[in-house]
Structure 1
């Protein structure tokens, strides 16, 4: 739901942001330290060394000479004070430009050096030079040269980027991939118990949420939920026992009262017979609800045969009310269920049709279910769900108990079926029950 805090943000997003900031700060600090440690002034760009090496050739006697190549000429234009010394392994050397006297002592010994970066302390930095050993077509050469100057900070920045940036990217990608994976794996137990909780309903009593794979921080909440479910189960059992006991205790005095009402000659007392019958019906329906939870017996049920029995049993009641009942077998099938409970469902639907103004009732067996159609005043669309609520009556002064359709809904739900109310084609109501075929 919108506006509800999520654990993913503090567990994934915030740590990633903190790591990103730490990496950036570490990156900046390393660069600053490197620049600070190497603040010795400008240096000679060593990329000029290969140009110097390519400009050195051998003359006819085998001595070293400098040929002004286009690349060397361009460098000379850019840096007028360009100079270098090239020396082979035999000590033969050649110079180009004005070589500072400071390096005169190195002539004849350059071949002993393979790498050096020389920098002087003050402008104009004429002594800044680089020593590199190059392999050329005329053999290995050691070159001491001076050219265009560059600030070392740029090189340090480039080198630091080259060395640290891949590490930075690897750490970032690792965090982006592994932190969400670790968090999802850690919260897998929470997802599992959420799925278990969604499967718990009023009919799945006795179930508890699993505590096996739940993080220790969530375990107290799971235990509290299990304790709450246990208390609900205990309360439901107490309520169920109370209803069963009350219904059993009421049957005897209601039966005695009914017999006395039928035996009396007092018309005022005999007028109580419908109310006594209503009490008897309500008691039986409460016992039916109790039996659904305790004594369900699922077998193969022939819906056509079940409908014939119900119509035969109710025919005298229908005739006594000067009504008619008709049975249509449109698609006989069998299903797995409690035959007694399904018989009570069909009986309640027929009685409900008769109680609410239906004079002509049609019981229709359809594939994987049955329906009852009447020609009464019908049920408004806005009331078609509420009539299944316990003790709800479409008309407040109706004689029904208000439990008949509620019993129908509960039985159908226990059989994994559906019950719906439709308009009859010629007026009235159709209540259709669809069950799962065998």
Structure 2
């Protein structure tokens, strides 16, 4: 399974590796500067490191003889470097056996003999000729206690740096680096991810507010990081190009539909002059269908990409007024329209002209396609649903979803239509953030439910 691509992961990785590298580099630089500026400290580091190596290196072989066994490549190298120096010497004793390297100065031997065994560590200076050298005596708390005395140790800058790194790595740097890396990883996982996600989330929230209307909302670049500004600008530019193309298409459709209405009206009037009744009926029917296509195309063009003006309206009152206009046409086709509504008002937030177009299309579709319907029922429910029920052949369940698309006609339709009536209804409901549901009536026929969002009630004043 492919791991999701994340901006935070590589940023966190670089941050952790960079922090670890900076810790090592800063430590080396700090120690180097320290060693280059303090010669006395270099001598002290050399003596103390050798004393520690000798204390840990003292042991016994299989015969019980006290011997010196230094473990580790660096430790062996340091002892070897020390032993190569002519002034270097050391004295190691467990109280019964001793290991001596080099010549212990007489003045130092006096210090060793006279120092109280209760003093575990002491530093001293002695002279060899005119040179002042540093010595260190150290007694550990082992049983038996091991006494180590070292003098004359001196390392170069590079050798001293090697000693310092060997000393501080296991004692402090390793733990400090571990703590820093854990803290960095935590910051990277939490803070870095949140820091990156916050501006991206603002851009996403702004994108979700895009209404799809010409010259409508765009992604705001206010408070947008400079890294995301090119993406926002490119997206807004693409929306502008889409708007221009959509506006050109909408204008063409509206202009073409408008220009066709006048010649179609004239053509319909001239058809009355045709003497052949059969030919005239065919031409009248085709002209009527063409006029219907032009009308619905004009409606679709006007609704597409146009912001509707919303207000609080009574859905029952609007439906009642629209039905009254269609009653004469329905009666001519031998169809009655029955209206049902609750006693109180059903208030919604919507566009009355758009709702009028939607209900007009549903009633006209029913009169055109629902043959055999004696009573067309239009009902307004308290739940803000406008329901239209006919007794026609209905629409098969497999075709209902695609019937909401433009220019799609049902396979069982016995009459010619534009295939845009339900598409216009669907678009109007989308503009109202509502929904269209096509179902089957009891027994036979089609049920169309237009569900409008309810108006949020304001909290009662205290």
Q: Which moved more, 1:102-111 or 1:358-367?
A: 102-111
Residue of structure 1 equivalent to 2:173? 164
Native 8 Å contact 2:121 2:139 kept in 1:
yes
Residue aligning to 1:309: 321
3-state SS of 1:421 partner: strand
Structure 1 residue 162: deviation in Å? 3.4
Q: Kindly provide the CA deviation profile for residues 366-396 of structure 1, in whole angstroms up to 9, marking residues without a partner as x.
A: 1213101112222222222211111111138
Quote the Cα distance in structure 2 between the aligned partners of 1:369 and 1:147.
Answer: 96
Q: Quick check: 1:345 aligned with 2:374?
A: no
Q: How does 1:33-72 map to 2 (within 5 A)?
A: 38-39=49-50, 42-44=53-55
Residue aligning to 1:413: 430
Q: Which whole-Å deviations, capped at 9, do the CAs of 1:136-184 have from their partners, x for residues lacking one?
A: xxxxxxx9x982479x999996864332234213321331233342454
- Give 1:178-189 correspondences, 5 Å limit: 178-180=187-189, 181-182=191-192, 184-186=194-196, 188-189=198-199
* Contact preservation (8 Å) 1:409, 1:419: yes
Matches within 5 A, 1:289-368: 289-292=300-303, 294=306, 296-330=308-342, 332-358=345-371, 359-360=373-374, 361-367=376-382, 368=384
Structure-2 separation of matches of 1:247 and 1:418:
28
TM score, norm. by length of structure 1: 0.70
Alpha-carbon distance in 2 for matches of 1:35, 1:279 = 105
Q: Residue 183 of structure 2 is aligned with which of 174, 187, 197?
A: 174
Q: Does 1:104 align with 2:113?
A: no
> Closer, same or farther in 2 for the Cα pair 1:36/1:324, shift >3 Å?
farther
State how far apart, in whole Å, the 2-side matches of 1:105 and 1:374 are.
119
Cα distance per residue 1:305-359 (max 9 Å; x no partner): 2222232222222222223322222464122322222122112112222322341
Q: Provide the C-alpha distance between the structure 1 equivalents of 2:230 and 2:182, rounded to a whole number of angstroms.
A: 35
**2:216 and 2:173 mapped to 1: Cα distance?**
59
- The alpha-carbon distance between structure 1 residues 30 and 352, as it changes in their structure 2 partners (threshold 3 A), is same
- What does the per-residue CA deviation read over 1:272-314, in whole Å, with 9 as the maximum and x for residues that have no partner? 2222122222222223234435584434332222222232222
Where does residue 74 of structure 1 map in the other structure? none
Give the equivalent residue in structure 1 for 2:67.
none
Shift of residue 404, structure 1, vs aligned partner: 0.7
Return closer, same or farther for 1:131/1:294 CA change in 2, 3 Å cut-off: closer
Q: Which one of 239, 246, 249 corresponds to residue 256 of structure 2?
A: 246
Unaligned regions of 5+ residues in structure 2, if any?
Answer: 36-44, 57-92, 99-105, 125-134, 151-161, 456-462
Structure 1: 5+ residue runs without aligned partners? 46-77, 84-99, 119-126, 133-142
Residue pair 2:213, 2:307 contacting (<8 A) in 1 also: no
Q: Deviation of residue 20 (structure 1)?
A: 4.8
Distance of 2:312 and 2:205 partners within structure 1: 33
CA displacement 1:172-207 (0-9 Å, x = unmatched): 133123334245424533332233223435347532
Task: Give the structure 1 partner of residue 419 of structure 2.
Answer: 402
Match of 2:231 in 1: 221
Residues matched between the structures, number = 368
Residues 175-184 or 344-353, more deviating: 175-184
In 2, the alpha carbon distance for the partners of 1:104 and 1:244 equals 116
Which one of 219, 233, 241 corresponds to residue 243 of structure 2?
233
Q: Per the alignment, in what secondary structure is the counterpart of residue 38 of structure 1?
A: helix
Instruction: Please say if 1:430 is aligned against 2:428.
Output: no
Counterpart CA distance in 1 for 2:431 and 2:21 is: 58
Match of 1:147 among 145, 148, 169: 145
**Cα separation, 2, equivalents of 1:35 and 1:253:** 109
Deviations 1:226-275 (CA, angstroms, capped at 9, x unpaired):
21111111112212211221121111011111222245433202322222
Q: What SS class does the counterpart of residue 300 from structure 1 fall into?
A: strand
Change (3 A) 1:214 1:296: closer
Task: Give, in angstroms, the shift of residue 101 of structure 1.
Answer: 10
Cα deviations across residues 76-130 of structure 1 (Å, max 9, x unaligned)? xx956289xxxxxxxxxxxxxxxx996335666769x884279xxxxxxxx9952
Pick from 379, 385, 388: which aligns with 2:404?
388
